[in-house]
Amino acid sequence: MTLVHDRRTLAAVAFLSLLCVIYLIDSMTEVSVLEDTSFPVGMERPGPKKTYDEFVKQAASIDPTYPIGIPMTSSPEAAHELPKYLKYKEKLLTPVINQDVCASCWAISVCHVISDRISLMTGGKIIKPLSFQELLSCFNPKGNNVGCEVGGSPEAAFRHGVEKGFALDAEYPYVQQKTTQIVACDARKQQGPRTFIQRGSVKSLCEDPSRYKEGSPQYMKIIKNNVRRMKTELYLHGPICCTIQVYKSMYSYDGLSIFEGPTDDDEYVGGHAAVLFGFAEEVNGVEEGFDGDTWFIKNSWSASWPIKSPASKGLFYMRAGINCCGVESRASCAQPVITEELRRNMVPLKESSYHGYSEYVSDPERANFITKATRLRTLVKQT
């Protein structure tokens, strides 16, 4: 047998060996946040890739006719020194789920914001996934039951939680994966413990910039203030609900870099709500493609999206500071009522987050975010 030791052969062997080593290490050691068995309710593991038609059905989930109708939060000039990097720990967040054919993102994002805040403020000691199915079935402000067909309003859902509260997902689980016909409200499933929203805590974080020309000084001043409000709320209280304009190009987003916005000829699909759980301003210099101002967003299009790669498993990285896809035009928040149980178990939010990229990279949990594809690309570049 003759061995050929040219550079191309050696490079190919080295690359294949690297693939095998990474696969072996990952199979033995990597535990994704999406596989955490401490969150058995509403678990979503990677499954079949969605078709574009399926993507369109779930992307248009915000009812544009519903008024925001909540007060603006305080001035963005509040004296809070914000970190350049803030990201809440993925293992403490409610797992990514699959809304499937129902336009339920507005309900999912609201329930996840409150569930995530409870988990984060207690360092993961109290985990209460809330029922977005109850919102779909029992909250019908327009009287037309279209929350699964044309979507709904996150702000209205937050307000609803002040008076009515939310059931637990364990007692009122999601059943709309394959139908837009809303299942009737079942009062028997509403008899268990409920989580309420603090009165006066439901706030809008954004002023509408649309009355000014996009990119004009007045427009960008509003965006700058909106960004400040959003970051301040994230820093002080935890994840918030953001809304984005969905375009066709998001279907093929690979999750390996920051999404920079639609192309000139991109097709608009609809409005969508998601959970914004962090931001970055500092350049990390390690992860290719993540070297600019960024929002960290948790989506509800299943753990199989981004569609080209399993790198992100439902997480979304969007350019910050330029109102990419309208993300800085409409955002809202609310705070759960602090019960005695929560008070006994509260920890500083700092313990549930990373305040700087150096904190993040030194934490073993980084493997939950820097996934196989991203690490592979970095290692190949170094060989």
Rounded distance between C-alpha atoms, residue 340 and residue 203, angstroms: 24
For the cut 90, the answer to whether the pLDDT of residue 242 exceeds it is yes
80-338+345-365 placed in CATH 3.40.50.10800: no
pLDDT at 117 over 80: yes
Provide the mean pLDDT of the chain.
79
pLDDT of residue 355: 87
List pLDDT tens digits, range 29-73: 333 333 333 322 233 334 455 665 665 555 555 665 555 666 666
Of 119-123, 148-152, 154-158, minimum mean pLDDT range: 148-152
Q: Other C-beta atoms within 10 Å of 326: how many?
A: 18
Q: Count the neighbouring beta carbons within 10 Å of the beta carbon of residue 304.
A: 18
**pLDDT of amino acid 24:** 31
pLDDT of residue 301: 87
Work out the pLDDT band at 335, boundaries 50, 70, 90.
Answer: very high
What is the model's pLDDT at position 15? 35
**Ranges of each domain in the chain:** 80-338+345-365
Q: Per mean pLDDT, which of 13-17, 45-49, 212-216 is the most reliable?
A: 212-216
The per-residue DSSP string of 16-31 comes to HHHHHHHHHHHHHH--
- H helical segments located in 286-356: 340-345
pLDDT number for residue 45 = 38
332, pLDDT greater than 90 = yes
Can you list the alpha helix ranges (DSSP code H) found in the chain?
A: 7-29, 52-59, 105-121, 132-138, 154-163, 217-237, 340-345, 357-361, 372-382
Average of per-residue pLDDT across 92-112: 93
Residue 340 has pLDDT above 90, yes or no: yes
pTM of the entire predicted model: 0.81
